[in-house]
Structure 1
Amino acid sequence: MPKPQEIVLAEPRGFCAGVDRAIEIVERAIAKFGAPIYVRHEIVHNTFVVNDLKTRGAIFIEELDDVPPGATLVFSAHGVSQAVQQEAQRRGFQIFDATCPLVSKVHVEVAKLAKEGYEFIMIGHKGHPEVEGTMGQLDHGIHLVEEVEDVAKVQPAQTELLAVVTQTTLSVDDAAAIMAAVRERFPQIRVPKQQDICYATQNRQDAVKVLSPQVDVVIVVGSPTSSNSNRLRELAARLGTPAYMVDNAQELQPAWFEGAARVGLTAGASAPEVLVREVIDRIKALGATSVRSMNGIEETVKFPLPKGLKIDAATGLEIEVRKAPELGPGH
């Protein structure tokens, strides 16, 4: 049976600007205020990243009851509800919000249109922290749909003022199908000027669409809780290429590569490049002799850090933070 010969790397892959920013917020908070720093929910959905930050002094919690008085608290990249924000402020925590700015954009749009009397349909996955955070911007008036069939069940109080928003990490194709059903049922619904699905999710899915037909198997590096990573695996499989998602190189199964001369490799937006490199080494150990990168979009987006973490008030200097060397260049 032929062994893998070539590894083809998707471009772009791995960390996005929102993930880079969220991790840096935790690192800078630890550097400036000292450990421990409390983080509500996993800062991003990646086991390696979370465990790395734990070793440096981050404590991950789900309930604010677990945060001691006067502590420094970071909200995860997925965003939080108004109730969580208000409760955290009431308790007097020092708060840094690592919500991805593209998620915050959706929150701002919801708040703005709600003041004008709008109800909302949200396309997303029930129970995902980003969906809980967005739906929690209002007390009522947001109807969640997960698939096309759900659209027929939505019963808004009125249809004159109705808008649609989406989770930022969905499958572009799945969201388009649901959006089409929403617009068919509610022709006058207000849609975002720019789609809510984030640029990084779109770019990684587009890269997999190019990658999949060129290879015999696709490996996606990402944690099981990562929505955008799951969508990459599903997309490759839908395109007819066997596809597997792994949290790390140890999860690779030699049987996946039997008869697969060319292996495609990508990573979700919360997966660091160090994990990709370890997967490459493991596939090389199974026989692969060459690695090449596809041509792809070069992402140059960078989001600013929150006030209070940019400059050291005592010295007026930018705070330098030791980046984890294992995250590799550019990450």
Structure 2
Amino acid sequence: MMAPRPDSATQKPTLTILLANPRGFCAGVDRAIKVVELAIEKYGAPVYVRHEIVHNRYVVESLEAKGAIFVDELDAVPDDVPVVFSAHGVPKSVPQEARRRSMIYVDATCPLVSKVHREVEYHFSAGRHILMIGHAGHPEVIGTMGQVEDGAMTLIETVEDAENLHPADPDNLAFATQTTLSVDDTADIVATLQRRFPNIAGPKKEDICYATTNRQDAVKAIAADADRVIVIGAPNSSNSRRLVEVSEKAGCRAILIQRAADLDWDWLSGARTIGITAGASAPEILVTELIDALKTRYDARVELRMTAEEDVIFKVPPILRDVA
């Protein structure tokens, strides 16, 4: 049965909305967006950005309106304009090419991704072969694997990959992980690697970032009491897609949408309690938009569920601090 229209003669059904907290923007995303805005302020429009600064169309279109131009590679950037590298990080070849062309460039790589890059460089310098736990084709994985020479790293996507790996020197391995993975799935992969290769070196502090962990914990908390969970985020956002998976593994049906207009109202049929969260690159305005849309069809009550407090702030790169 479809949810009633706002002009329905019937009374609106009641709905409890469990609003996850933490949700939405993390410190790395906040910083990356600010980097683009400050670059436009300092250098004037246009400022080019290699790849989406973060995986969210609303954010990208908002920055385009301010004077940002998003491109896939540096060869699409003129020599005489500044370029920003996305929060996901880039292979070393990208800044090398920018320097060769004497370009002004600003690196918006999340500091927690940069931490992984340093770990990879350390293990490479120690002569270890590095296993990269992550998703093939994701810009963060491409950037991290691009910190060292080809062949120095092997991508591991699943427990099966970890079980079937046969390295040349099994006693001289290290692992690193993408920062936006499922905490539980990654733990299973790491456990498999540590069982098979007891001498494998890992990070001193886990690579999955605090924001990813917190948002997954928060969605577990609302999924336990909800009939459905709605995740606001982009389909190419790894951390947003993981929130859907975490909810479903917790036993609650979940859906990923970019905006309220994308919601299939029939999918909510029969639900009396729903959870709402947002990926780390989704702005709060999209959460508000969704709740407002729900209130046109339901007598909705919002209940905040807080599982952690976040107070992390990352400084902008030195090149922009004169306008920060």
- Does the pair score TM above 0.5? yes
Aligned to 1:193: 204
Per the alignment, residue 152 of structure 2 pairs with 141
The equivalent residue for 1:210 is 221
Could you list the structure 1 runs, at least 4 aligned residues long, displaced by more than 2 angstroms after superposition. 1-4, 152-157
Aligned equivalent of 1:261, options 267, 272, 284: 272
Q: Is the 8 A contact 2:87 2:109 kept in 1?
A: yes
Q: Which residue of 1 aligns with 2:238?
A: 227
Task: Measure the CA separation in 2 of the matches of 1:215 and 1:6.
Answer: 9
For residues 160-179 of structure 1, the aligned pairs below 5 Å read 160-179=171-190
> Is the counterpart of residue 86 in structure 1 residue 96 in structure 2?
yes
In structure 1, C-alpha distance between the alignment counterparts of 2:182 and 2:306, rounded to whole Å: 22
Structure 2 residue 18 is matched with structure 1 residue 8 = yes
Matched with 2:292 is 281
In structure 2, stretches of 5+ residues that fail to align are: 4-12
> For 1:228 and 1:219, how far apart are their aligned partners in 2?
14
1:309 aligns with 2:320: yes
Q: Which moved more, 1:159-168 or 1:95-104?
A: 159-168
Deviates more, 1:17-26 or 1:58-67: 58-67
Q: 1:46-195 alignment to 2 at 5 Å?
A: 46-139=56-149, 140-195=151-206
Structure 1: which 5+ residue stretches go unaligned?
313-318, 320-331
Structure 1: distance between partners of 2:117 and 2:37: 25
Give 1:103's aligned amino acid.
V
1:196-224 CA-to-partner distances (Å, cap 9, x unmatched) read: 00000000000111110111110000000
- SS of the aligned residue for 1:294 comes to strand
Q: Distance in 2 between matches of 1:233 and 1:152?
A: 26
The alignment partner of 1:109 has SS state of helix
Q: Deviations over 1:214-269 (max 9, x none)?
A: 11110000000100000001111121111111000100111122111111000000
If the length of structure 2 is used for normalisation, what is the TM-score?
A: 0.94
Within the candidate set 273, 281, 304, 1:270 is matched to 281
2:249 is matched with which residue?
Answer: 238
Deviation at 1:157, TM superposition (A): 3.0
Question: Could you tell me whether the CA contact under 8 Å between 2:52 and 2:86 is conserved in 1?
Answer: yes
- Report the secondary structure of 1:244's partner residue: strand
Percent identity, aligned pairs only, is 54
TM-score (norm 1): 0.92
Give the AA of the match of 1:119.
Answer: H
Cross-structure match for 1:328: none
Deviates more, 1:231-240 or 1:22-31: 231-240
C-alpha displacement of 1:179: 0.7
Deviation (angstroms), 1:289: 2.3
Query: What RMSD over aligned residues (CA atoms) do the two structures have, in Å?
Result: 1.2
- 1: CA distance between counterparts of 2:87 and 2:135? 16
CA–CA distance in 2 between the matches of 1:285 and 1:245?
21
Q: Distance in 1 between matches of 2:47 and 2:182?
A: 33
